[in-house]
Homo-oligomer: A and B are copies of this chain.
């Protein structure tokens, strides 16, 4: 960690390392040396230069493995059976770190089954963070290449040294945060479990992995222990860190160490934090105003309990999906509001889903620039590339269309109301992990729709961003322009 620093001034400082845009320092220097030696691993090398395909391959293999393991007899207690659709759905749900659960995670799975879930979530989380980071590096290669008109051999190549460097950072940061969460959780869980240290160790590990990776599976029937701050607070903090994403975490760590003021943070950090803060504040206000007197949610509860629910409701729905029990009790407008929040999701290159906070913020910035008559899209005294804005537009339009089609299909397949279908679609796409009952074991069609939505939600936005940043072939023909009336 000591050598990992985040280089936020891409435009001001140039570096000979291809990955210098968001990592810099000598942590990768050793790995880069290895590239100098003549390498024999051509297959690996070929896959590395195509992070998009590598990502899809990684997840496909893991889905097959996890489904197989969950269908094995040791995963399920003798009195329960696991159908193929249940196993597949649970595997996809765990690997995408979505966390929608159609069976009771405590009673339906044995310790072995729960361990499969744990490892799946961990592999899914590490995988997506690594690949998203690699794709971000590749995008940066592409953008620099487009700006400098490099030769074809220099276009968009990701070196093996980079993959090792990124993997090192991802593993270090992830395990460090998970370890801190584990340690912070243990005393609280020991108290909740009345001194059963063996159970507390297992639950601490389970919660630590689930919270940082933003998958909402719980190890026992008690759910999130929302009444015990010793358990709830570390989980909430860890889940929150998980939704920020690496560029933000690294930038914050670096600026903290260098005692730099917030105005020296990178533009990406500023936009992500500002967007996250506004969304959480809006969620908190919404929940307090609209749900304050919900009789299904608060049967004569005191102000303290209501505030706790509101805080969980403000932080959790964005991606973590813990504490499932009370979600179906919220009012219809709140379901719609939560759908929108889940659709926006968390930070880029994090385990959270959705179109990402930055994507949404850039759409708003494009609108602001248009209305105020500015040609430049500015934020915090920095200009945002037109290409980034176009990527944000494409991601948002495509994902909106996807969620719309998914909701309509769910309505047709299960007869659910629009509110519930939209909620479960957004939850699957945004990897929220909640469900209001559309995902049911006895409706394989709905499960299939949701599983596809989850996979697209996991891989879609970053794949779109990558495909858009591809080195563009020069236009063979440039057509004359013609005006079209809009609006």
Binding site for B on A (CB under 8 A): 8-12, 21, 136, 139-140, 143, 245, 247, 266-268, 271, 290, 332-333, 335-337, 340, 348-349, 355-356, 358-359, 362-364, 366-367, 370-371, 373-376, 378, 381-386, 388, 390-398, 400, 404, 407-408, 411-412, 417-419, 422, 461-468, 470-473, 475, 478-487
CB-nearest residue of chain B to A473? B373
A448 and B136 CA atoms in complex are apart in Å by 47
A330 to chain B, nearest CB (A): 12
A482 contact from B349, B384, B418, Cβ within 8 A:
B384
A337 contact set on B, CB distance < 8 A? 408
A231 and B422 CA atoms in complex are apart in Å by 40
A340 and B411 CA atoms in complex are apart in Å by 15
A376 contact from B358, B412, B475, Cβ within 8 A:
B475
A266 touches B482 (CB 8 A): yes
A332 and B475 CA atoms in complex are apart in Å by 45
A418 contact from B136, B140, B332, Cβ within 8 A:
B332
CB-nearest residue of chain B to A12? B480
A355 contact set on B, CB distance < 8 A? 487
B333 touches A480 (CB 8 A): no
Total copies of the chain: 2
Given the known inter-chain contacts A366-B394, A418-B332, A470-B373, please indicate yes or no for A462 contacting B487, CB distance below 8 A: yes
A361 to chain B, nearest CB (A): 8
B484 touches A384 (CB 8 A): yes
A362 and B486 CA atoms in complex are apart in Å by 9
A11 contact from B336, B473, B481, Cβ within 8 A:
B481
CB-nearest residue of chain B to A10? B483
A332 touches B391 (CB 8 A): no
CB-nearest residue of chain B to A410? B333
A417 contact from B332, B348, B366, Cβ within 8 A:
B332
A11 contact set on B, CB distance < 8 A? 480-483
A336 contact set on B, CB distance < 8 A? 407-408, 411, 418
A373 contact set on B, CB distance < 8 A? 467-468, 470-473
Q: Add 7 more A-B contacts to A376-B475, A383-B480 (CB < 8 A).
A: A268-B484, A271-B484, A356-B485, A359-B487, A376-B479, A417-B417, A418-B419
A486 and B475 CA atoms in complex are apart in Å by 25
A463 contact set on B, CB distance < 8 A? 487
A129 to chain B, nearest CB (A): 12
B486 touches A359 (CB 8 A): yes
A394 contact set on B, CB distance < 8 A? 366-367, 370-371
